[in-house]
C-alpha cells in the first residue's frame, strides 16, 4: 500500500502519513495488485473478506464482530410508484452498533492495534462515537471522546454503555474557533502519546475510512454488477467518497466496466456541498447549519472537497431536501417497505423522491439507496413519530375480534 495526495498527486511510499507532506492535502490509499488477485477471500467474514483491497493488518490484530455483509433489500412498493426499473435499499442498520460506521471502526481499531497505539481519541456527532466505543472496548483500547453539548441522547447513551471517556465541550459545534481548538488539541495529544485519531473522514484518517469501500464491493457482488445510480446521505462526505473509491478500484482492476452515478443528499439546512456543486465551486460553501437531522449537521464537511472532485469529474451530482421530506421518507420506509431507519439514513430515499419529480423515464435504471443507520438511534424522533398514536386498552370481554 502507498498513498496518493488528492490535490497535488504526490505519492507517499515509505512511511505512514495521514496528510500530504507537500501540501497537507487529503491522502488516498492505493494498492499494488494484479488482475489475478481475487476480490474476496471466501473463508473470511465481514470487511476482512476484502483484505487485499484494505490497508494491511496482520490477522492477529483484526477486530471483527459481524460488521458488513449487510442485506440489499429490494423495494416492494416505492420503486414501482416512482417507475424505477429496480430499486434496492442497502440496509446498514444491521451492523453491530446500528450504522455503517462499524466498518470504519473495525478497520480503524485493527489498524491502530497493529500500529501499537495505546488509545484512540476523537470527536463525533453520534454514530461514529458509538461504533468506535464498541470496537475500542473489544480491542482493549481506551477511547477519549469529545462531543457537542447537545448530542442526540440515544447515541450518547450508546457511547456511555461501552465506557468511553466522554467530555462535552461548550460551544463545540456552534463556535468555529472552539471547534478549531478542539481539533488542534486532539492532534497534539495523539502525536505526543501515540494515540490513534478516530475521526471518520479521509481528511483525518484515510486508513480507517477504507472500511467504507466494502459497501461498494458488497453491492457489486450482490447485484452481480454496477448499479446505475446510488443515493447516499452526506454529512462530512466520507461515506460518499468511500463508496466512489470502491467502485473506482473495481473499474481500475477491470473487474467492472463502468461507474455508478453517485447522488449526494443533504438536508436543505446544511447543504454546503449541494450549493457548491450547483455553483461550480471546488470547495463546500460556508454557512451555518440549521437542519435538525442528527448526523448530517456538518457545517464544514472535512471530505467535501473530495466529494466535489468526484462530481466535477462527472461522477455524480447533489440534491438537497427539507427536513420534513426526510421524516416523510423515514415514515414511508417503515410503513411500506418494513424498514425502520434513522432520519439521516432516510435522507437518501428523500433525495431519490425529490429527484424523481423531474419526470425522467427511470424504467431501465437500477438504483440503490444507502440506508445508513437503524431507527433506534434517534429516540426523540421515535417518540415524535409515535406520541399521537393511541393504543386502546381493553377488558378481555371487549376484545374486538
Ligand X SMILES: *Cc1c(COP(=O)(O)O)cnc(C)c1O
Site string for ligand X, 27-46 (x = CB under 6 A): --------------------
Q: Least distance from C-beta 103 to ligand X, angstroms?
A: 11
Q: Which is nearer to Zn ion, 20 or 130 (CB)?
A: 20
Whole-number Å distance between alpha carbons of 347 and 297: 13
Check binding of 8 to Zn ion (CB under 5 A): yes
> Can you tell me which of 25, 206, 227, 237 binds ligand X, judged by CB under 6 A?
237
* Residue 77 DSSP symbol: S
Stretch that binds ligand X, among 160-168, 227-235, 354-362, 382-390 (CB under 6 A): 227-235
Q: Where are the beta strands (DSSP E) in 223-293?
A: 229-233, 261-267
Report which secondary-structure segment, H or E, holds 97: none
21 binds Zn ion (CB under 5 A): no
Q: Check binding of 236 to ligand X (CB under 6 A).
A: yes
Q: State in angstroms the smallest separation of the CB of 294 from ligand X.
A: 9
Burial of 91 by CB count in 10 Å (0-12 exposed, 13-18 middle, 19+ buried)? buried
CA distances from 91 to 18, 39, 74, 232, 368 (A): 30, 22, 10, 12, 10
Residues sharing a CB contact under 8 Å with residue 60, sequence separation 6 or more, in sequence order:
none
Rg value, the chain, Cα: 21
Confirm or reject binding of residue 122 to ligand X (CB under 6 A): no
Residue number with CB closer to Zn ion (241 or 243): 241
Q: Identify the CA nearest to 92 among candidates 342, 328, 294.
A: 342
Rounded Cα gap, residues 319 and 278, in angstroms:
9
For residue 196, the minimal CB distance to Zn ion (Å) is 22
For position 238 contacting ligand X by CB under 6 A, the verdict is: yes
One character per residue 335-354, x = contact with ligand X (rule: CB under 6 A): -------x-xx---------
Residue 359: Cβ within 10 Å count = 7
Tell me the closest approach of the beta carbon of residue 41 to Zn ion, in angstroms.
33
239 binds, among Zn ion, ligand X, none (CB under 5 to 8 A by kind): ligand X
Give yes or no for residue 375 binding ligand X (CB under 6 A): no
Taking CB under 6 A as the binding criterion, the range among 19-27, 69-77, 232-240, 255-263 that sits at the site for ligand X is 232-240
* 295 sits near ligand X (criterion: CB under 6 A): yes
Q: How many Å apart are CA 108 and CA 147, to the nearest integer? A: 19
Determine which helix (DSSP H) or strand (DSSP E) holds 28, and give its type and residue range.
strand 27-30
Q: Which is nearer to ligand X, 12 or 344 (CB)?
A: 344
Q: How many residues bind ligand X (CB under 6 A)?
A: 17
Residues sharing a CB contact under 8 Å with residue 158, sequence separation 6 or more, in sequence order: 97, 98, 129, 130, 133
Which parts of this chain interact with Zn ion (CB under 5 A)? 5, 7-8, 10, 20, 22-23, 25
Q: Which residues bind ligand X (CB under 6 A)?
A: 99, 101, 127, 233-240, 295, 342, 344-345, 372-373
Amino acid at each position: 500500500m502507498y498513498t496518493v495526495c488528492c490535490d497535488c498527486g504526490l505519492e507517499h511510499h515509505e512511511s505512514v502519513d495521514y496528510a500530504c507532506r507537500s501540501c497537507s492535502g487529503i491522502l488516498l490509499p492505493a494498492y499494488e495488485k494484479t488482475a489475478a488477485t481475487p476480490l474476496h477471500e471466501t473463508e473470511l467474514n465481514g470487511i476482512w473478506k476484502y483484505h487485499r483491497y484494505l490497508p494491511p493488518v496482520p490477522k492477529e490484530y483484526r477486530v471483527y464482530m459481524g460488521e458488513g455483509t449487510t442485506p440489499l433489500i429490494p423495494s416492494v412498493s416505492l420503486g414501482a410508484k416512482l417507475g424505477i426499473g429496480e430499486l434496492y435499499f442497502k440496509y446498514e442498520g444491521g451492523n453491530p452498533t446500528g450504522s455503517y460506521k462499524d466498518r470504519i471502526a473495525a478497520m480503524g481499531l485493527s489498524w491502530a492495534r497493529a500500529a501499537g497505539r495505546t488509545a484512540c481519541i476523537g470527536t463525533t456527532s453520534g454514530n461514529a462515537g458509538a461504533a468506535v466505543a464498541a470496537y475500542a472496548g473489544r480491542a482493549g483500547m481506551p477511547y477519549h471522546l469529545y462531543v457537542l453539548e447537545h448530542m442526540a441522547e440515544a447515541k450518547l447513551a450508546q457511547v456511555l454503555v461501552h465506557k468511553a471517556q466522554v467530555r462535552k465541550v461548550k460551544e463545540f459545534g456552534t463556535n468555529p474557533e472552539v471547534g478549531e481548538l478542539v481539533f488542534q488539541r486532539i492532534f497534539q495529544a495523539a502525536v505526543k502519546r501515540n494515540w490513534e485519531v478516530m475521526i471518520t473522514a479521509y481528511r483525518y484518517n484515510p486508513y480507517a475510512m477504507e472500511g467504507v469501500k466494502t459497501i461498494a464491493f458488497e453491492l457489486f457482488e450482490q447485484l452481480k454488477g454496477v448499479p446505475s445510480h446510488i443515493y447516499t446521505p452526506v454529512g462530512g462526505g466520507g461515506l460518499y467518497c468511500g463508496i466512489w473509491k470502491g467502485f473506482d478500484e473495481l473499474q481500475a482492476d477491470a473487474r467492472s466496466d463502468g461507474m455508478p452515478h453517485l447522488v449526494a443528499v443533504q438536508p436543505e439546512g446544511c447543504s454546503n456541498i449541494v450549493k457548491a456543486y450547483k455553483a461550480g465551486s471546488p470547495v463546500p460553501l460556508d454557512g451555518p447549519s440549521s437542519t435538525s437531522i442528527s448526523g448530517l449537521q456538518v457545517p464544514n464537511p472535512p471530505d467535501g472537497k473530495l466529494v466535489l472532485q468526484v462530481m466535477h469529474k462527472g461522477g455524480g451530482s447533489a440534491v438537497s431536501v427539507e427536513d420534513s421530506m426526510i421524516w416523510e421518507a423515514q415514515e414511508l420506509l417503515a410503513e411500506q417497505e418494513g424498514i425502520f431507519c434513522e432520519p439521516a439514513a432516510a435522507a437518501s430515499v428523500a433525495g431519490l423522491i425529490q429527484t424523481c419529480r423531474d419526470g425522467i423515464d427511470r424504467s431501465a435504471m437500477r438504483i440503490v439507496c444507502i440506508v445508513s443507520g437503524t431507527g433506534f438511534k434517534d429516540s426523540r424522533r421515535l417518540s415524535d413519530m409515535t406520541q399521537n398514536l393511541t393504543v386502546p386498552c381493553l377488558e378481555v370481554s371487549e376484545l374486538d375480534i
